[in-house]
Amino acid sequence: MNSSLLTNLINDYGYFGIALLLALENIFPPIPSEIILGFTGFLTISSNLDIFGSIIAATIGALIGALILYFFGKIISVDRLEQLLTGRLGKILHFKPADLERASSFFNRHGNSAVFFGRFVPVVRSLISIPAGMSNYSLGRFIFFSTLGTSIWNTALIFVGRMAGHAWPHVIKTIVAYGKIGLIVIIILFIVCYVVYKRKKE
């Protein structure tokens, strides 16, 4: 899915488009949440989208996507899942068995922290939900830590897109290109943007 189609969906459908795209992003990792959220942030200064409404819509959408994979994990066996990931479905979803092993290992080592911090890591952000479902991890805790992690991620990128203005594509592209360094940049930019936003409100 190209970036122009993503931005057109948000332009045409507003909050519903944001929620839908974030739900799909959790299931189909090739859909870049950075672009969705960065453009959403920009729209909060150039359309009738509200920044807090956008954050809520994005978080609801991301949680729906995470829950779909969580319940998928509860009803499928490990062997069947590996067969699916090595077949056509794995190619369509761009998932590999190695990705699932990485997410499962991360979940088994860290539990609550894995569900929370996994929301900040591409691919793991999607796949962490499956081992959580397979292990019968508490649904209440899953919803709590998923919502907390995704809301922080969504808020940070929406604020970055808002503060970057028309330069949002370049800022987001830099963040995506530098991976983990980009994540640190997001956190720093979020803090700076939040301080600036609060001062403008005073």
Please report the pLDDT score of residue 61 as a whole number: 94
Closest CA to 124 of 142, 143, 101: 101
Q: What is the pLDDT of residues 160-190, one digit of tens each?
A: 888 888 887 777 777 666 655 556 656 666 6
Q: Comparing C-alpha atoms, which of 1, 132, 179, 29 is closest to residue 90?
A: 29
Residue spans of alpha helices (H) in 47-121: 51-75, 78-86, 88-93, 97-110, 112-117
**Alpha-carbon distances, residue 19 vs 33, 60, 156, 183, 198 (angstroms):** 11, 6, 16, 22, 26
Phi and psi at 95, nearest 5°, equal: -105, 145
pLDDT number for residue 83 = 67
Domain boundary assignment for the chain: 3-201
Neighbours of 108 (CB within 10 A): 11
Average pLDDT for the chain: 77
Per-residue confidence at 144, pLDDT binned at 50, 70, 90?
very high
**88-127: per-residue pLDDT in tens?**
655 655 566 666 666 667 677 766 777 887 787 767 777 7
CA dist., res. 94 & res. 14, Å (int): 27
Distance CA 96, CA 41 (A): 32
Residue 26 has a pLDDT of 82
Two tokens at 117? 């911090």
pTM as predicted: 0.75
Contact indicator for 146, 66 with CB cutoff of 8 Å: yes
Question: What's the rounded Cα separation, in Å, for the pair 120 and 175?
Answer: 13
Roughly what angle, to the nearest 10 degrees, separates helices 139-164 and 33-46?
A: 60
